[in-house]
Amino acid sequence: MAPIIVGSGGTGFEGKSDRIGLPVGTSDPTSPSAGEIYFNSSTNKVRQYNGTAWADLTSSSSGYTKSGLIFDWDPSRLTGFSDGASIANSTSLSTGINTTFTSSGTSIAVNGGSFNYQTEQGGHIDATTNTGRISVTGSNIASALDSCSSMTITCWFQSNSAGRQVLVSRFGTGFPDQFNHIVDPNGDFHYNSSGAIAGTSGNLDTNAWSTNTWALSHWVYSVSDGIARWYVNGSQITTVSFGTDSGSGLAVSGAGAGFAIASRGDDIERLTGRIGPIRIHNIALSASQCSDDWNAERSRFGL
């Protein structure tokens, strides 16, 4: 891939009345010099070599999508845990909350079982040996969830694929059954929102994620068209029609409950695997936003 030459040494094809063309490729060029740029067609980003490494010109330090965030938790923010440390029942994980985007008063803690903490991937929760439920509580986060008509659940995860296992859930006894995002080897993804939109549950066979491998899942429901969409590693893999439910979508009334991570809300079908960042938006993220999330964090997970 030859660089663009501007000036008397040009080829005659660089000059255009309203734009300039860049070299296009799917991977970073080898043997670069500082200041060189190209367009990466795999990520749809312009990249520049800064003399040390290639970097996206069009990405910002803000990273993942912030629009509509009502819950933002990342185990990389946790403090007080060494590599391999056991995280016992009742241990608070609140230092992982980004308070800028998460409702005040939100608490997150182990609520049944236990986990290990690992510093790899910047920090993650390891449930490969010890499993449990992480509960998210607080009246403000409950109210924010109650009023969601559209929603996006973002989850970095691994699963050992040994059975149906829950990633993020507001489902089960004592919960409004608003969402239940599951990885299931018999259907790849299981979905259930029967408490918010009647009759919406089932399995989707997509072969979109691999056992014991980090993956980014976006579960996106748009009230405008009643469609739920699944994105894996930034690419849409399947859809299902939930119906618009007279415009209320996932909204519930007076539920007053939080939700769970790595288990169903009522502590069933615990995850055997690993959990990274978990985020919930009260909007349906677009395809480009899901792709941006993937590109913003994929290198952290070795992808």
The residue written with tokens 């539920």 in the block is 255
CATH code linked to domain 69-301? 2.60.120.200
Segment (H or E) for 110: strand 107-113
Q: How many residues does the chain have?
A: 303
Contact 98, 63 (CB under 8 A): no
pLDDT at 193: 83
Q: Enumerate the domain spans of the chain.
A: 1-58, 69-301
- Closest C-alpha among 146, 157, 113 to residue 279: 157
How many angstroms separate the CA atoms of 192 and 207, rounded?
19
Which tens digits make up the pLDDT trace of 79-102? Answer: 999 999 999 999 999 999 999 999
How many angstroms separate the CA atoms of 236 and 228, rounded?
11
- Closest C-alpha among 219, 294, 302 to residue 63: 294
Which amino acid is present at 280?
I
Per-residue pLDDT for the chain (303 aa), expressed as one digit of tens each?
A: 555 455 445 454 555 556 677 888 888 899 888 888 888 776 566 878 777 667 666 444 358 999 999 999 999 999 999 999 999 999 999 999 999 999 999 999 999 999 999 999 999 999 999 999 999 999 999 999 999 999 999 999 999 999 999 999 999 999 999 999 999 988 888 888 887 877 788 888 888 889 999 999 999 999 988 899 999 999 999 998 887 665 688 899 888 999 999 999 999 999 999 999 999 999 999 999 999 999 999 999 999
Residue 39: strand pairing partners: 24, 46
How many angstroms separate the CA atoms of 229 and 51, rounded?
40
Quote the pTM value.
0.80
Q: Please tell me whether residue 246 adopts helix, strand or coil conformation.
A: helix
Q: Please tell me whether residue 214 adopts helix, strand or coil conformation.
A: coil
- Closest C-alpha among 238, 162, 170, 163 to residue 204: 238
Please list the helix, strand and coil fractions of the chain in percent, rounded to the nearest 5, in that order: 10, 35, 55
Q: How many helices (H) and strands (E) does the chain have?
A: 2, 20
How many angstroms separate the CA atoms of 133 and 261, rounded?
6
Which tens digits make up the pLDDT trace of 262-293? Answer: 999 999 999 999 999 999 999 999 999 999 99
Q: Is the dihedral of CA 152, 79, 76, 64 positive or negative?
A: positive
Q: Tokens representing 253? A: 């009334």
- Closest C-alpha among 244, 196, 191 to residue 218: 191
